[in-house]
Amino acid sequence: MSGFRAVAVVIALLGVALSAYAEFGTPRAPGVEGSFGWFAFEAGPFVLAAILALLTTYGRTLSVVGFAMLALEAYAYYVVFVLPPEGDAALIYLRKPFYGLGIVATGMLAGFLLTRSRTTRG
């Protein structure tokens, strides 16, 4: 396993751990429990990135993608759990997995196009 591929897998696993912490480790209102389905929804883009890192040769691209998704995860956590509560701030957790999938798709397309341009040039 190449170095970038290993880094991409570690970043993806860190993202899964942060999603688990956001779902199960943060304090909630009494009577509100964490949901495994919601956790799977949140961690889905990180799992996809880990699988792609293991099965493709785009380790460098997926490392950058993983850092972008970790930044999105940190922003979502900050907006929802650190800042004072606002009206629809928690809705970012509904949108975040779709943003993550968009980041993965865009990163994979960029990695494919960059690899293809390098092989056709030289």
Residue 86: helix, strand or coil by DSSP? Answer: coil
pLDDT tens track for 64-89: 999 999 999 999 999 988 888 888 88
Q: pLDDT (tens digit, 9 = 90+) per residue, 21-68?
A: 988 888 776 666 778 988 999 999 999 999 999 999 899 999 999 999
Place of tokens 């509100």: 32
Contact between 60 and 111 under an 8 Å Cβ cutoff? The reply is yes
- At 7-18, the pLDDT tens digits run 999 999 999 999
Q: CA nearest 11: which of 45, 56, 57, 34?
A: 45
Cβ atoms < 10 Å from Cβ of 6: 14
Instruction: With H, G, I as helix, E, B as strand and everything else as coil, classify residue 48.
Output: helix
Cβ atoms 115, 56 nearer than 8 A: no
